[in-house]
Amino acid sequence: MAADEFYNPILQGCYPDPSITRKGEDYYLVNSSFAMFPGVPIFHSKDLVNWFQIGHVLDRKSQLKVEDSGISAGIYAPDILYNQYNDTFYMITTQFSGGMGNIVVKTKDPKQGWSDPNKLNFSGIDPALFFDEDGKAYVVHNDAPDKGKELYNGHRVIKIWEYDMAADQVIEGTDKIIVDGGVDIRQKPIWIEAPHIYKKNGKYYLMCAEGGTGGWHSEVIFVSDNPKGPYIPAPSNPILTQRYFAKDRKNKVDWAGHADLVLGPDDKYYGVFLGIRPNSKDRVNSGRETFILPVDWSGEFPVFENGMIPMEPKIKMPKGVTENKAGKDGFFPNGNFTYTEDFKSDKLDYRWIGLRGPRENFMTITKNGVEIKPFAVNIKEVKPISTLFYRQQHKDFSFSTILNYKPASEKDLAGITLLQSEKFHYVFGVTKKGNDFYIVLERTEKGTSSIISSQKIELKGPIQLEVKAKGDDHEFSYSLDGGEMKKLGGVISGDILSTNVAGGFTGTLLGLYATAANDAVPK
Protein backbone atom coordinates (compact mmCIF):
# COMPACT_ATOMS: atom_id res chain seq x y z
CA MET A 1 0.00 0.00 0.00
CA ALA A 2 0.99 3.59 -0.55
CA ALA A 3 1.11 5.86 2.50
CA ASP A 4 -2.31 7.32 1.72
CA GLU A 5 -4.12 4.00 1.13
CA PHE A 6 -6.04 1.48 3.22
CA TYR A 7 -7.55 -1.94 2.60
CA ASN A 8 -11.11 -2.89 1.76
CA PRO A 9 -12.93 -4.57 3.48
CA ILE A 10 -12.51 -2.48 6.63
CA LEU A 11 -14.05 -5.31 8.70
CA GLN A 12 -13.03 -8.78 7.47
CA GLY A 13 -15.09 -11.84 8.29
CA CYS A 14 -18.75 -12.10 9.19
CA TYR A 15 -19.56 -8.42 9.82
CA PRO A 16 -22.52 -7.94 7.46
CA ASP A 17 -25.29 -5.34 7.03
CA PRO A 18 -23.27 -2.32 8.22
CA SER A 19 -24.94 0.85 9.46
CA ILE A 20 -23.06 4.02 10.36
CA THR A 21 -23.73 7.30 12.13
CA ARG A 22 -21.79 10.39 13.19
CA LYS A 23 -21.76 12.71 16.19
CA GLY A 24 -19.25 15.53 15.82
CA GLU A 25 -15.90 13.90 15.03
CA ASP A 26 -17.02 10.44 16.20
CA TYR A 27 -18.26 7.69 13.88
CA TYR A 28 -20.06 4.56 15.09
CA LEU A 29 -20.70 1.44 12.99
CA VAL A 30 -22.78 -1.67 13.79
CA ASN A 31 -23.35 -5.05 12.12
CA SER A 32 -25.79 -7.96 12.12
CA SER A 33 -24.92 -10.75 14.55
CA PHE A 34 -27.71 -13.35 14.13
CA ALA A 35 -27.45 -15.87 17.04
CA MET A 36 -24.00 -14.74 18.19
CA PHE A 37 -23.76 -13.56 21.80
CA PRO A 38 -23.20 -10.74 22.64
CA GLY A 39 -24.99 -9.19 19.69
CA VAL A 40 -24.51 -6.23 17.34
CA PRO A 41 -20.77 -5.49 17.43
CA ILE A 42 -20.13 -1.74 17.56
CA PHE A 43 -17.03 0.03 16.27
CA HIS A 44 -15.76 3.60 16.71
CA SER A 45 -13.61 5.71 14.40
CA LYS A 46 -12.49 9.32 14.06
CA ASP A 47 -11.56 9.09 10.39
CA LEU A 48 -13.41 6.15 8.68
CA VAL A 49 -10.02 4.38 8.23
CA ASN A 50 -9.03 3.27 11.73
CA TRP A 51 -11.70 1.31 13.61
CA PHE A 52 -11.76 0.28 17.28
CA GLN A 53 -14.34 -2.14 18.65
CA ILE A 54 -15.89 -0.59 21.77
CA GLY A 55 -18.16 -3.54 22.56
CA HIS A 56 -21.60 -4.84 21.59
CA VAL A 57 -24.95 -3.06 21.67
CA LEU A 58 -26.88 -6.11 22.91
CA ASP A 59 -24.69 -7.59 25.63
CA ARG A 60 -27.28 -8.71 28.21
CA LYS A 61 -29.81 -11.56 28.22
CA SER A 62 -32.58 -8.99 28.80
CA GLN A 63 -31.71 -7.50 25.39
CA LEU A 64 -30.84 -10.61 23.41
CA LYS A 65 -32.99 -13.74 23.53
CA VAL A 66 -31.36 -16.17 21.11
CA GLU A 67 -30.94 -19.25 23.32
CA ASP A 68 -33.06 -21.45 21.01
CA SER A 69 -32.26 -19.67 17.76
CA GLY A 70 -30.73 -21.22 14.66
CA ILE A 71 -27.47 -19.51 13.81
CA SER A 72 -28.99 -17.49 10.94
CA ALA A 73 -31.97 -16.26 12.96
CA GLY A 74 -31.59 -13.75 15.80
CA ILE A 75 -30.41 -10.24 14.93
CA TYR A 76 -30.93 -8.90 11.39
CA ALA A 77 -29.79 -5.60 9.92
CA PRO A 78 -29.30 -3.17 12.80
CA ASP A 79 -29.58 0.56 12.05
CA ILE A 80 -27.66 3.03 14.24
CA LEU A 81 -28.56 6.72 14.15
CA TYR A 82 -27.59 9.73 16.25
CA ASN A 83 -30.46 12.16 16.81
CA GLN A 84 -28.90 15.61 17.13
CA TYR A 85 -32.20 17.12 18.28
CA ASN A 86 -32.24 15.20 21.59
CA ASP A 87 -28.55 14.15 21.76
CA THR A 88 -29.45 10.44 21.79
CA PHE A 89 -28.22 7.40 19.87
CA TYR A 90 -30.77 4.85 18.67
CA MET A 91 -30.23 1.28 17.44
CA ILE A 92 -33.24 -0.34 15.80
CA THR A 93 -33.24 -3.91 14.49
CA THR A 94 -35.24 -7.09 13.92
CA GLN A 95 -34.72 -9.90 16.45
CA PHE A 96 -36.00 -13.17 14.96
CA SER A 97 -36.04 -14.99 18.28
CA GLY A 98 -37.44 -14.95 21.79
CA GLY A 99 -40.73 -13.42 20.65
CA MET A 100 -38.99 -10.07 20.23
CA GLY A 101 -39.61 -8.92 16.65
CA ASN A 102 -38.64 -5.33 15.83
CA ILE A 103 -36.97 -3.53 18.73
CA VAL A 104 -35.24 -0.25 19.55
CA VAL A 105 -32.60 0.54 22.20
CA LYS A 106 -31.10 3.93 23.14
CA THR A 107 -28.11 5.54 24.84
CA LYS A 108 -26.55 8.96 25.37
CA ASP A 109 -23.08 7.40 25.00
CA PRO A 110 -22.43 4.22 22.96
CA LYS A 111 -19.35 3.52 25.09
CA GLN A 112 -21.46 3.29 28.25
CA GLY A 113 -24.04 0.64 27.29
CA TRP A 114 -27.58 0.63 25.91
CA SER A 115 -31.12 0.44 27.30
CA ASP A 116 -33.29 -2.63 27.41
CA PRO A 117 -35.31 -3.10 24.21
CA ASN A 118 -38.64 -1.51 23.42
CA LYS A 119 -40.76 -3.80 21.23
CA LEU A 120 -42.24 -2.07 18.20
CA ASN A 121 -45.74 -2.66 16.84
CA PHE A 122 -45.05 -3.57 13.23
CA SER A 123 -43.94 -6.61 11.23
CA GLY A 124 -41.34 -6.91 8.49
CA ILE A 125 -37.56 -6.51 8.72
CA ASP A 126 -34.71 -4.01 8.30
CA PRO A 127 -36.17 -1.03 10.20
CA ALA A 128 -34.36 2.32 10.11
CA LEU A 129 -35.11 5.62 11.84
CA PHE A 130 -35.12 9.13 10.39
CA PHE A 131 -35.28 12.32 12.47
CA ASP A 132 -36.41 15.46 10.67
CA GLU A 133 -35.54 19.02 11.62
CA ASP A 134 -39.22 19.84 12.30
CA GLY A 135 -39.14 17.48 15.29
CA LYS A 136 -40.93 14.61 13.55
CA ALA A 137 -39.50 11.10 13.42
CA TYR A 138 -40.16 8.16 11.10
CA VAL A 139 -39.43 4.45 10.74
CA VAL A 140 -38.96 2.84 7.32
CA HIS A 141 -38.73 -0.93 6.82
CA ASN A 142 -39.17 -3.84 4.45
CA ASP A 143 -42.48 -5.71 4.56
CA ALA A 144 -44.63 -8.10 2.55
CA PRO A 145 -47.18 -6.53 0.20
CA ASP A 146 -50.73 -6.15 1.48
CA LYS A 147 -52.60 -9.44 1.71
CA GLY A 148 -53.48 -10.83 -1.71
CA LYS A 149 -51.27 -8.32 -3.56
CA GLU A 150 -48.02 -10.30 -3.82
CA LEU A 151 -47.34 -10.43 -7.56
CA TYR A 152 -44.30 -12.71 -7.67
CA ASN A 153 -41.78 -14.50 -5.43
CA GLY A 154 -39.54 -11.86 -3.83
CA HIS A 155 -42.08 -9.06 -4.25
CA ARG A 156 -41.67 -6.78 -1.22
CA VAL A 157 -42.49 -3.22 -0.27
CA ILE A 158 -40.96 -0.40 1.77
CA LYS A 159 -43.26 1.07 4.42
CA ILE A 160 -42.97 4.23 6.47
CA TRP A 161 -44.52 5.03 9.87
CA GLU A 162 -44.54 8.15 11.95
CA TYR A 163 -42.66 7.56 15.20
CA ASP A 164 -43.53 8.86 18.67
CA MET A 165 -40.17 9.66 20.30
CA ALA A 166 -41.68 10.07 23.77
CA ALA A 167 -43.23 6.59 23.68
CA ASP A 168 -40.57 5.04 21.41
CA GLN A 169 -43.32 3.52 19.34
CA VAL A 170 -44.76 3.83 15.85
CA ILE A 171 -48.01 5.78 15.66
CA GLU A 172 -50.88 3.46 14.84
CA GLY A 173 -52.55 4.08 11.50
CA THR A 174 -49.75 6.19 10.02
CA ASP A 175 -48.17 3.41 7.93
CA LYS A 176 -47.88 3.91 4.20
CA ILE A 177 -46.24 1.96 1.36
CA ILE A 178 -43.67 4.25 -0.29
CA VAL A 179 -42.00 1.74 -2.64
CA ASP A 180 -43.82 -1.19 -4.21
CA GLY A 181 -41.51 -3.90 -5.55
CA GLY A 182 -38.52 -1.70 -6.28
CA VAL A 183 -37.29 0.74 -8.89
CA ASP A 184 -39.54 -0.64 -11.66
CA ILE A 185 -42.14 -3.20 -10.65
CA ARG A 186 -42.65 -4.14 -14.32
CA GLN A 187 -39.20 -5.77 -14.16
CA LYS A 188 -40.25 -7.82 -11.10
CA PRO A 189 -37.41 -6.65 -8.83
CA ILE A 190 -36.85 -8.81 -5.76
CA TRP A 191 -36.19 -8.08 -2.10
CA ILE A 192 -36.33 -4.31 -1.85
CA GLU A 193 -34.98 -3.90 1.69
CA ALA A 194 -32.53 -2.15 4.04
CA PRO A 195 -34.05 1.32 3.56
CA HIS A 196 -32.49 4.55 4.87
CA ILE A 197 -33.76 8.13 4.52
CA TYR A 198 -31.37 11.09 4.19
CA LYS A 199 -32.17 14.79 3.81
CA LYS A 200 -30.08 17.04 1.57
CA ASN A 201 -30.88 20.46 0.13
CA GLY A 202 -34.47 20.22 1.36
CA LYS A 203 -35.16 16.92 -0.42
CA TYR A 204 -35.61 13.42 1.04
CA TYR A 205 -33.57 10.56 -0.38
CA LEU A 206 -34.57 6.94 0.20
CA MET A 207 -31.74 4.45 -0.37
CA CYS A 208 -32.47 0.71 -0.43
CA ALA A 209 -30.90 -2.61 -1.32
CA GLU A 210 -32.50 -4.44 -4.24
CA GLY A 211 -31.98 -7.81 -5.92
CA GLY A 212 -31.49 -10.08 -2.90
CA THR A 213 -28.36 -10.40 -0.80
CA GLY A 214 -26.55 -12.68 -3.29
CA GLY A 215 -25.25 -12.31 -6.84
CA TRP A 216 -27.83 -9.75 -8.02
CA HIS A 217 -27.45 -7.51 -4.95
CA SER A 218 -27.39 -3.75 -5.56
CA GLU A 219 -28.11 -0.36 -4.04
CA VAL A 220 -30.77 1.97 -5.46
CA ILE A 221 -31.91 5.52 -4.66
CA PHE A 222 -35.19 7.49 -4.78
CA VAL A 223 -36.05 11.16 -4.11
CA SER A 224 -39.10 12.99 -2.75
CA ASP A 225 -40.16 16.42 -1.49
CA ASN A 226 -41.82 14.76 1.51
CA PRO A 227 -40.57 12.02 3.89
CA LYS A 228 -43.78 10.06 3.21
CA GLY A 229 -43.37 10.29 -0.55
CA PRO A 230 -44.13 9.90 -3.35
CA TYR A 231 -40.58 8.69 -4.06
CA ILE A 232 -39.21 8.85 -7.62
CA PRO A 233 -36.33 6.53 -8.56
CA ALA A 234 -33.10 8.00 -9.92
CA PRO A 235 -32.72 7.50 -13.68
CA SER A 236 -29.26 5.98 -13.19
CA ASN A 237 -30.06 3.12 -10.74
CA PRO A 238 -28.34 1.08 -9.44
CA ILE A 239 -25.76 3.32 -7.74
CA LEU A 240 -23.69 0.37 -6.45
CA THR A 241 -23.39 -3.25 -7.61
CA GLN A 242 -20.82 -5.86 -8.65
CA ARG A 243 -23.23 -8.07 -10.58
CA TYR A 244 -22.24 -7.24 -14.16
CA PHE A 245 -18.61 -8.38 -14.27
CA ALA A 246 -16.54 -11.42 -15.28
CA LYS A 247 -16.82 -14.34 -12.86
CA ASP A 248 -13.04 -14.92 -12.87
CA ARG A 249 -11.96 -11.33 -12.21
CA LYS A 250 -8.92 -10.73 -10.01
CA ASN A 251 -9.41 -9.83 -6.31
CA LYS A 252 -13.10 -10.57 -6.78
CA VAL A 253 -15.59 -8.76 -4.57
CA ASP A 254 -19.24 -9.63 -5.11
CA TRP A 255 -22.76 -9.25 -3.68
CA ALA A 256 -22.22 -5.53 -2.92
CA GLY A 257 -25.21 -3.75 -1.39
CA HIS A 258 -27.07 -3.09 1.88
CA ALA A 259 -25.43 0.31 2.29
CA ASP A 260 -25.56 3.32 4.61
CA LEU A 261 -24.20 6.83 4.01
CA VAL A 262 -22.35 9.28 6.25
CA LEU A 263 -20.58 12.61 5.80
CA GLY A 264 -16.82 12.02 6.17
CA PRO A 265 -14.17 14.08 7.95
CA ASP A 266 -13.27 15.71 4.62
CA ASP A 267 -16.91 16.89 4.11
CA LYS A 268 -17.35 14.23 1.44
CA TYR A 269 -19.91 11.43 1.67
CA TYR A 270 -18.91 7.80 2.20
CA GLY A 271 -20.94 4.61 2.08
CA VAL A 272 -20.45 1.40 4.04
CA PHE A 273 -21.93 -1.78 2.58
CA LEU A 274 -21.60 -5.54 2.59
CA GLY A 275 -19.69 -7.58 0.07
CA ILE A 276 -18.02 -10.98 -0.17
CA ARG A 277 -14.60 -12.27 -1.26
CA PRO A 278 -15.19 -15.80 -2.58
CA ASN A 279 -12.40 -18.38 -2.64
CA SER A 280 -10.88 -19.97 -5.75
CA LYS A 281 -13.89 -22.28 -6.09
CA ASP A 282 -16.22 -19.26 -5.87
CA ARG A 283 -17.39 -20.38 -2.44
CA VAL A 284 -18.21 -17.95 0.37
CA ASN A 285 -16.68 -19.20 3.63
CA SER A 286 -15.74 -15.96 5.40
CA GLY A 287 -19.21 -14.48 5.02
CA ARG A 288 -20.45 -11.01 4.21
CA GLU A 289 -17.91 -8.35 5.18
CA THR A 290 -17.99 -4.55 5.66
CA PHE A 291 -16.60 -2.43 2.82
CA ILE A 292 -16.43 1.34 2.33
CA LEU A 293 -16.28 3.61 -0.72
CA PRO A 294 -16.36 7.37 -1.23
CA VAL A 295 -19.64 8.68 -2.64
CA ASP A 296 -20.00 11.45 -5.20
CA TRP A 297 -23.02 13.55 -4.28
CA SER A 298 -22.19 16.61 -6.37
CA GLY A 299 -25.24 16.01 -8.56
CA GLU A 300 -28.85 15.38 -7.55
CA PHE A 301 -28.25 11.73 -6.63
CA PRO A 302 -25.39 10.05 -4.75
CA VAL A 303 -23.24 7.55 -6.67
CA PHE A 304 -20.63 5.22 -5.14
CA GLU A 305 -17.23 6.08 -6.65
CA ASN A 306 -15.89 2.98 -8.43
CA GLY A 307 -18.93 1.10 -7.14
CA MET A 308 -20.04 0.23 -10.67
CA ILE A 309 -16.70 -1.23 -11.79
CA PRO A 310 -14.82 -4.25 -10.35
CA MET A 311 -13.75 -3.23 -6.86
CA GLU A 312 -10.11 -2.90 -5.88
CA PRO A 313 -8.66 -4.25 -2.58
CA LYS A 314 -7.35 -0.81 -1.53
CA ILE A 315 -8.61 2.76 -1.65
CA LYS A 316 -7.37 6.25 -0.84
CA MET A 317 -7.74 7.55 2.70
CA PRO A 318 -10.01 10.58 3.16
CA LYS A 319 -8.23 13.89 2.73
CA GLY A 320 -6.57 14.96 5.97
CA VAL A 321 -6.20 11.42 7.39
CA THR A 322 -2.47 10.90 7.87
CA GLU A 323 -2.04 7.45 9.40
CA ASN A 324 -3.34 3.94 8.81
CA LYS A 325 -3.27 2.34 12.27
CA ALA A 326 -4.89 -1.00 11.36
CA GLY A 327 -3.75 -3.68 13.79
CA LYS A 328 -1.87 -1.22 16.05
CA ASP A 329 -2.82 0.13 19.49
CA GLY A 330 -6.05 -1.88 19.64
CA PHE A 331 -7.33 -0.78 16.23
CA PHE A 332 -9.00 -3.51 14.20
CA PRO A 333 -6.57 -5.22 11.79
CA ASN A 334 -7.20 -5.70 8.10
CA GLY A 335 -5.34 -7.01 5.09
CA ASN A 336 -2.92 -9.82 6.00
CA PHE A 337 -2.21 -10.18 9.70
CA THR A 338 -1.49 -12.57 12.56
CA TYR A 339 -3.51 -12.40 15.76
CA THR A 340 -2.21 -14.13 18.90
CA GLU A 341 -4.40 -14.51 21.99
CA ASP A 342 -2.80 -15.62 25.24
CA PHE A 343 -5.94 -15.02 27.35
CA LYS A 344 -3.87 -13.14 29.89
CA SER A 345 -5.79 -9.84 29.96
CA ASP A 346 -8.47 -9.20 32.56
CA LYS A 347 -11.07 -8.58 29.87
CA LEU A 348 -11.73 -10.92 26.95
CA ASP A 349 -11.15 -9.33 23.54
CA TYR A 350 -14.47 -8.41 21.91
CA ARG A 351 -13.61 -10.52 18.86
CA TRP A 352 -14.25 -13.67 20.92
CA ILE A 353 -17.97 -14.46 21.02
CA GLY A 354 -20.38 -17.15 22.16
CA LEU A 355 -23.33 -18.71 20.38
CA ARG A 356 -26.85 -18.30 21.82
CA GLY A 357 -25.63 -17.37 25.29
CA PRO A 358 -23.04 -15.47 27.34
CA ARG A 359 -19.42 -16.59 27.21
CA GLU A 360 -19.16 -16.07 30.96
CA ASN A 361 -21.53 -19.02 31.52
CA PHE A 362 -18.83 -21.49 30.43
CA MET A 363 -15.44 -19.77 30.47
CA THR A 364 -13.01 -18.30 32.97
CA ILE A 365 -9.71 -16.55 32.30
CA THR A 366 -7.01 -18.08 34.53
CA LYS A 367 -3.25 -17.62 34.90
CA ASN A 368 -2.84 -20.58 32.53
CA GLY A 369 -5.16 -19.28 29.82
CA VAL A 370 -8.87 -19.70 29.24
CA GLU A 371 -10.66 -22.52 31.04
CA ILE A 372 -13.88 -23.82 29.47
CA LYS A 373 -16.37 -25.74 31.56
CA PRO A 374 -18.16 -27.97 29.05
CA PHE A 375 -21.94 -28.03 28.80
CA ALA A 376 -23.71 -31.36 28.31
CA VAL A 377 -24.74 -29.97 24.93
CA ASN A 378 -23.53 -31.07 21.51
CA ILE A 379 -22.52 -28.57 18.83
CA LYS A 380 -25.38 -29.85 16.64
CA GLU A 381 -28.01 -28.74 19.16
CA VAL A 382 -29.84 -25.43 18.87
CA LYS A 383 -28.89 -24.39 22.40
CA PRO A 384 -26.09 -22.33 23.98
CA ILE A 385 -22.85 -24.26 23.44
CA SER A 386 -19.60 -24.10 25.44
CA THR A 387 -17.49 -22.70 22.62
CA LEU A 388 -15.47 -19.52 22.22
CA PHE A 389 -15.65 -18.35 18.60
CA TYR A 390 -13.55 -16.11 16.36
CA ARG A 391 -14.68 -15.16 12.85
CA GLN A 392 -12.72 -16.54 9.89
CA GLN A 393 -11.22 -13.44 8.25
CA HIS A 394 -9.09 -14.75 5.36
CA LYS A 395 -9.46 -17.22 2.50
CA ASP A 396 -5.99 -18.59 3.34
CA PHE A 397 -5.40 -18.94 7.08
CA SER A 398 -4.19 -21.08 9.94
CA PHE A 399 -5.84 -21.37 13.35
CA SER A 400 -4.09 -23.18 16.17
CA THR A 401 -4.30 -23.67 19.92
CA ILE A 402 -2.54 -25.50 22.73
CA LEU A 403 -4.94 -27.61 24.76
CA ASN A 404 -4.30 -29.03 28.23
CA TYR A 405 -7.04 -31.64 28.65
CA LYS A 406 -7.80 -35.24 29.51
CA PRO A 407 -11.29 -36.53 28.70
CA ALA A 408 -12.82 -38.71 31.38
CA SER A 409 -15.19 -40.63 29.10
CA GLU A 410 -16.45 -41.00 25.54
CA LYS A 411 -18.95 -38.22 26.27
CA ASP A 412 -16.10 -35.75 26.74
CA LEU A 413 -14.39 -33.93 23.87
CA ALA A 414 -12.41 -30.72 23.55
CA GLY A 415 -10.66 -29.18 20.59
CA ILE A 416 -11.37 -26.82 17.74
CA THR A 417 -14.33 -26.46 15.44
CA LEU A 418 -14.97 -24.78 12.11
CA LEU A 419 -18.65 -23.97 12.12
CA GLN A 420 -20.92 -22.56 9.44
CA SER A 421 -24.05 -23.65 11.31
CA GLU A 422 -25.39 -26.26 13.69
CA LYS A 423 -25.89 -28.54 10.65
CA PHE A 424 -22.62 -27.86 8.80
CA HIS A 425 -19.27 -27.98 10.59
CA TYR A 426 -16.02 -29.78 11.39
CA VAL A 427 -14.91 -30.87 14.87
CA PHE A 428 -11.25 -31.70 15.51
CA GLY A 429 -10.50 -32.74 19.07
CA VAL A 430 -9.49 -35.13 21.79
CA THR A 431 -11.85 -37.76 23.22
CA LYS A 432 -11.76 -41.20 24.81
CA LYS A 433 -12.80 -44.71 23.78
CA GLY A 434 -12.56 -47.35 26.45
CA ASN A 435 -9.29 -46.65 28.28
CA ASP A 436 -7.62 -45.05 25.26
CA PHE A 437 -7.34 -41.45 24.12
CA TYR A 438 -8.00 -40.47 20.52
CA ILE A 439 -7.67 -37.49 18.25
CA VAL A 440 -10.74 -37.39 16.01
CA LEU A 441 -11.89 -35.42 12.94
CA GLU A 442 -15.63 -35.29 12.37
CA ARG A 443 -17.56 -33.79 9.44
CA THR A 444 -21.21 -32.80 9.83
CA GLU A 445 -23.28 -32.10 6.73
CA LYS A 446 -27.04 -31.44 6.81
CA GLY A 447 -26.94 -32.45 10.48
CA THR A 448 -25.49 -35.92 9.78
CA SER A 449 -22.02 -36.60 11.17
CA SER A 450 -19.30 -38.95 9.96
CA ILE A 451 -15.78 -39.63 11.21
CA ILE A 452 -13.22 -38.71 8.55
CA SER A 453 -10.29 -40.00 10.55
CA SER A 454 -9.21 -40.84 14.10
CA GLN A 455 -5.93 -41.78 15.72
CA LYS A 456 -5.13 -43.36 19.08
CA ILE A 457 -2.65 -41.18 20.98
CA GLU A 458 -0.57 -41.20 24.16
CA LEU A 459 -1.88 -38.18 26.04
CA LYS A 460 0.75 -37.23 28.62
CA GLY A 461 0.64 -33.43 28.41
CA PRO A 462 -0.60 -30.51 26.33
CA ILE A 463 -1.58 -31.14 22.72
CA GLN A 464 -1.35 -28.62 19.88
CA LEU A 465 -4.18 -28.56 17.34
CA GLU A 466 -4.09 -26.69 14.05
CA VAL A 467 -6.14 -26.23 10.90
CA LYS A 468 -4.64 -24.67 7.79
CA ALA A 469 -6.73 -23.56 4.83
CA LYS A 470 -5.67 -22.54 1.36
CA GLY A 471 -8.91 -21.54 -0.26
CA ASP A 472 -11.14 -24.60 -0.23
CA ASP A 473 -8.40 -27.03 0.87
CA HIS A 474 -8.20 -27.63 4.64
CA GLU A 475 -5.62 -29.68 6.55
CA PHE A 476 -5.92 -30.69 10.21
CA SER A 477 -2.77 -31.44 12.25
CA TYR A 478 -1.75 -32.13 15.84
CA SER A 479 1.41 -32.35 17.91
CA LEU A 480 1.87 -34.16 21.23
CA ASP A 481 5.37 -32.94 22.02
CA GLY A 482 5.45 -29.34 20.81
CA GLY A 483 7.39 -30.48 17.76
CA GLU A 484 6.43 -31.85 14.38
CA MET A 485 2.76 -31.52 13.41
CA LYS A 486 1.11 -34.76 12.25
CA LYS A 487 -1.70 -34.53 9.71
CA LEU A 488 -5.00 -36.29 10.24
CA GLY A 489 -7.41 -37.01 7.39
CA GLY A 490 -5.49 -35.60 4.43
CA VAL A 491 -6.74 -32.60 2.43
CA ILE A 492 -10.36 -31.86 3.33
CA SER A 493 -12.82 -29.71 1.37
CA GLY A 494 -14.21 -26.59 3.02
CA ASP A 495 -17.37 -26.89 0.92
CA ILE A 496 -19.68 -27.37 3.93
CA LEU A 497 -18.23 -24.22 5.49
CA SER A 498 -19.57 -22.07 2.63
CA THR A 499 -22.94 -20.38 2.41
CA ASN A 500 -23.16 -21.87 -1.10
CA VAL A 501 -23.57 -25.33 0.47
CA ALA A 502 -24.79 -24.58 4.01
CA GLY A 503 -27.08 -21.65 3.18
CA GLY A 504 -27.79 -19.04 5.83
CA PHE A 505 -26.30 -15.60 6.37
CA THR A 506 -23.18 -16.11 8.47
CA GLY A 507 -19.52 -16.80 7.77
CA THR A 508 -17.38 -19.57 9.21
CA LEU A 509 -16.68 -19.32 12.94
CA LEU A 510 -13.44 -20.81 14.28
CA GLY A 511 -14.06 -22.14 17.77
CA LEU A 512 -12.49 -23.49 20.94
CA TYR A 513 -15.05 -26.21 21.64
CA ALA A 514 -15.66 -28.41 24.68
CA THR A 515 -18.61 -30.69 25.34
CA ALA A 516 -19.84 -33.30 27.82
CA ALA A 517 -22.28 -34.63 25.19
CA ASN A 518 -19.84 -35.87 22.57
CA ASP A 519 -21.05 -38.23 19.85
CA ALA A 520 -17.87 -38.25 17.72
CA VAL A 521 -16.87 -41.85 18.42
CA PRO A 522 -13.41 -42.83 17.07
CA LYS A 523 -13.22 -45.59 14.49
The residues annotated with a catalytic role in the active site are 17, 193
Backbone angle region of 344, left / alpha / beta, with phi > 0 → left and psi within -120 to 50 → alpha? alpha
C-beta separation of 45 from 107 below 8 A: no
Residue 250 amino acid letter: K
Cα Rg, the chain, nearest whole Å: 23
Whole-number Å distance between alpha carbons of 523 and 516: 19
Of the candidates 42, 125, 127, 62, the one whose C-alpha atom is nearest the C-alpha of residue 92 is: 127
Query: CA–CA distance from 62 to each of 115, 117, 236 (Å)?
Result: 10, 8, 45
Whole-number Å distance between alpha carbons of 41 and 256: 20
- Got the DSSP string for 121-183? S--SEEEEEEE-TTS-EEEEEEEPPSTT---STT--EEEEEEEETTTTEEPTT--EEEEESSS
Whole-number Å distance between alpha carbons of 168 and 193: 22
Of the candidates 383, 357, 403, the one whose C-alpha atom is nearest the C-alpha of residue 514 is: 403
Whole-number Å distance between alpha carbons of 227 and 458: 70
Whole-number Å distance between alpha carbons of 476 and 347: 30
Whole-number Å distance between alpha carbons of 103 and 31: 15
The neighbour count for residue 229, using CB atoms within 10 Å, is: 17
- Residue 394 is given by DSSP the state -
Q: What angle do CA 159, 161, 163 make, to 5 degrees?
A: 150
Whole-number Å distance between alpha carbons of 132 and 204: 10
SS3 335: coil
Whole-number Å distance between alpha carbons of 394 and 420: 15
Whole-number Å distance between alpha carbons of 485 and 473: 17
Of the candidates 473, 460, 465, 402, the one whose C-alpha atom is nearest the C-alpha of residue 439 is: 465
